[in-house]
Structure 1
Amino acid sequence: MAGNFKILYFAATTIYTGKDSESLSAPMKLGEMYELLEQKYPGIKGVIQGSMCTVNLDYVEDHELVIEAGDEVAIIPPVSAG
């Protein structure tokens, strides 16, 4: 079933996107999403590589995972304190 999923951006990813969130077309593999984001926002791949990713609040690493319509994805870059 085609539709959209929501992606949430935090910290450094908001610098590249200029957004807190956006909707992308589903279904899409996690790895494809990363490639699409790099095309849309050149340089974001470096931030994403060091980030955690969740799909529906579950941490994921499998680039073959299929994101479905209605899912919520969050990219959470590392945060430093000082």
Structure 2
Amino acid sequence: MKVKLFSVLAEKIGPTIDLNLPDQFVAQDVLDQIKELHPDYANVLDQSLVAVNEEYTNDESIKLESVDEIAIIPPVSGG
């Protein structure tokens, strides 16, 4: 499953990353897989939000067959 990355993650890792997700998963599973592949960005990923089909998700169980898009939204700073 291609996962879209934004902000600093997209700059450092790339705009997308391919993950092998199980048939049923939670948002933390997505973050954990990216952390395994890119441990240098664990701090950013720990503060990031996961959006599935353009809706933020936390600990709800997600069926892979119902997923069109997953995006990781890192924290943004502004002023």
Q: TM-score, normalised by structure 2?
A: 0.74
**Do 1:16 and 1:44's aligned partners in 2 also have CA atoms closer than 8 Å?**
no
Unaligned ranges ≥5, structure 2? none
Q: What is the root-mean-square deviation in Å for CA atoms of aligned residues?
A: 2.1
Within 5 Å, give how 1:1-82 maps onto structure 2: 5-17=1-13, 19-26=14-21, 27=23, 29=25, 30-62=27-59, 65-69=61-65, 70-82=67-79
Q: How many residues matched?
A: 76
Any runs of at least 4 consecutive aligned residues in structure 1 with deviations exceeding 3 A, and if so which?
Answer: none
Unaligned ranges ≥5, structure 1? none
Q: TM-score, normalised by structure 1?
A: 0.72
Letter in 2 for 1:60: T
What is the deviation of 1:20?
A: 0.2
**Do 1:53 and 1:59's aligned partners in 2 also have CA atoms closer than 8 Å?**
yes
- Whichever structure has more strand as a proportion of its residues is 1
Specify which structure has the bigger relative contact order, considering alpha-carbon pairs within 8 angstroms and separated by 6 or more residues: 1
CA distance in 1, matches of 2:46, 2:53: 20
Aligned residues: percent identity? Answer: 28
What is the deviation of 1:16?
A: 4.1
